[in-house]
Amino acid sequence: MGPRILVTGALGQIGTELVEALGEKHGQESVIATDVRSAPGCRILDVMDSAGIQSLVKGEEITEIYHLAALLSATGERNPDLCWKINVEGLENIIAAAQANGCKVFAPSSIAVFGPDCPSVAPQVTPLNPATVYGKTKVVCEQLAMTAGIDMRGLRYPGLISYKAPAGGGTTDYAVEIFHAALAEGHYTCFVREDTRLPMMYMDDAIRATLELMEVSSEKLGGARGGYNIAGCSFTAGELVASIQRHLPEFTCSYEPDVRQKYADSWPDDIEDDLAREEWGWAPQFDLDSMVDAMFAGLQA
Ligand code: NAD
Ligand code: SER
């Protein structure tokens, strides 16, 4: 028997592609997509509804949970109490259901766990003093992975770039919005400075990393299991513009930094991912130019 899978937050930027990939791997009938919003093929499940989660996990004999429901950094800073509730209490509800029903859990962490005291290339092990509420909720998430007494795993995703669903209220959203604006308007007003460098990753790499991490036998995973660093490609907003101009030479970008600049400045420029490479064979496939090429191919198809 293969796994019976529950995905929360399934209509978001990652869920849209992860549900598809899990269905291809394990069969569509094995995957139950849920979200607080409604859409065809997706059941309503609010992660604050602990009784609803328990009943669905038990009733559907769920064995694996991919817990994607969360508020991201920019939305989280505007609604800090709600961010804590959804990201921490929502996760606690998922963990309780996993404990009661023997489920394995994937719960993503983020580059937002790092704070201004982190070196510019973030090591796996470094003090975690995030500047945002969102980052603090992700530190708690990593700690719960180690203490909950279940098989719970996570990745410190960089900013994710994709075309199948919009980005969901994070600081790295400019690196997604810019493609839509480039094609629709030929111009983008970027909310971080031109020299802002952040760790980023193309969605295909992120989905593959997620599936690979969940396949690894638990003995191979050490103390970073709640949040492995994984690097994709790191670039400045200006370098992204230059790569887009290979496709659209007339494209222009202006820079009007807003409050999200502060969050971006508190995060590292790049990520050291040696441990993920050693322990479970992680390797990215997309660099800046191949990611931009794939985005244009996807958006123009
Ligand atoms: P997203 O905002 O695109 O999607 C989140 C989904 O959660 C949305 O569809 C939303 O409707 C749903 N949701 C919100 N509140 C809910 C609730 N109470 N109950 C059930 N569903 C609810 O986010 P995403 O980019 O897909 O991110 C998924 C996970 O990955 C999050 O934990 C996020 O922190 C993490 N992550 C994302 C990125 C990125 O760049 N996208 C980077 C690092 C980490
Ligand atoms: N992409 C996310 C954000 O900007 C990082 O976790 O919030």
* Ligand 2, atom 7: closest residue by C-alpha: 170
**Domain match, 140 and 166 both:** no
Return the number of other C-beta atoms located less than 10 Å from residue 124's C-beta.
Answer: 17
Residue 219: inside a domain: no
Q: In the predicted model, what is the mean pLDDT of residues 96-105?
A: 98
**Domain match, 22 and 123 both:** yes
78, 86, 136, 173: residue to mutate for ligand 2 pocket, most atoms within 8 A of CB = 173
- For the cut 90, the answer to whether the pLDDT of residue 180 exceeds it is yes
pLDDT digits (tens, 9 = 90+) for 232-273: 999 999 999 999 999 999 999 999 999 999 999 999 999 999
* Ligand 2, atom 2: closest residue by C-alpha: 170
- Ligand 1 atom index nearest CA of 165: 3
**Domain match, 58 and 181 both:** no
**Domain match, 142 and 182 both:** no
**Domain match, 75 and 133 both:** yes
State the CATH number of the domain containing residue 245: 3.90.25.10
Residue 205: inside a domain: no
Report the separation in Å between the CA atom of 16 and the middle of ligand 1, taken as the mean of its atom positions: 10
Report the separation in Å between the CA atom of 87 and the middle of ligand 1, taken as the mean of its atom positions: 9
- For the cut 90, the answer to whether the pLDDT of residue 215 exceeds it is yes
Catalytic residues: 134
- For the cut 90, the answer to whether the pLDDT of residue 1 exceeds it is no
What pLDDT shows up at residue 143? 98
**Domain match, 170 and 131 both:** no
Residue 215: inside a domain: no
pLDDT digits (tens, 9 = 90+) for 111-127: 999 999 999 999 999 99
State the CATH number of the domain containing residue 140: 3.40.50.720
Domains: count for the chain: 2
- For the cut 90, the answer to whether the pLDDT of residue 170 exceeds it is yes
**Domain match, 146 and 286 both:** no
**Domain match, 37 and 172 both:** no
**Domain match, 240 and 284 both:** yes
Residue 224: inside a domain: no
Terminal CA-CA length for the chain: 37
- For the cut 90, the answer to whether the pLDDT of residue 206 exceeds it is yes
**Domain match, 59 and 116 both:** yes
Residue 248: inside a domain: yes
Report the separation in Å between the CA atom of 153 and the middle of ligand 2, taken as the mean of its atom positions: 18
Residue 222: inside a domain: no
**Domain match, 21 and 142 both:** yes
Instruction: Kindly provide the b/e burial profile for residues 270-282, where b requires at least 16 CB atoms within 10 angstroms of the residue's own CB.
Output: bbbbebbbebbeb
Mean pLDDT over each residue of the chain, to the nearest integer: 98
**Domain match, 171 and 152 both:** no
The domain in which residue 17 lies consists of 5-157
Residue 213: inside a domain: no
Q: Which ligand is nearest to the CA of 174?
A: 2
Sequence-distant (≥ 6) Cβ neighbours of residue 272 within 8 angstroms: 121, 122, 123, 124, 229, 231
- From 157, 179, 209, give the residue that closes a domain: 157
pLDDT digits (tens, 9 = 90+) for 52-87: 999 999 999 999 999 999 999 999 999 999 999 999
Residue 94: inside a domain: yes
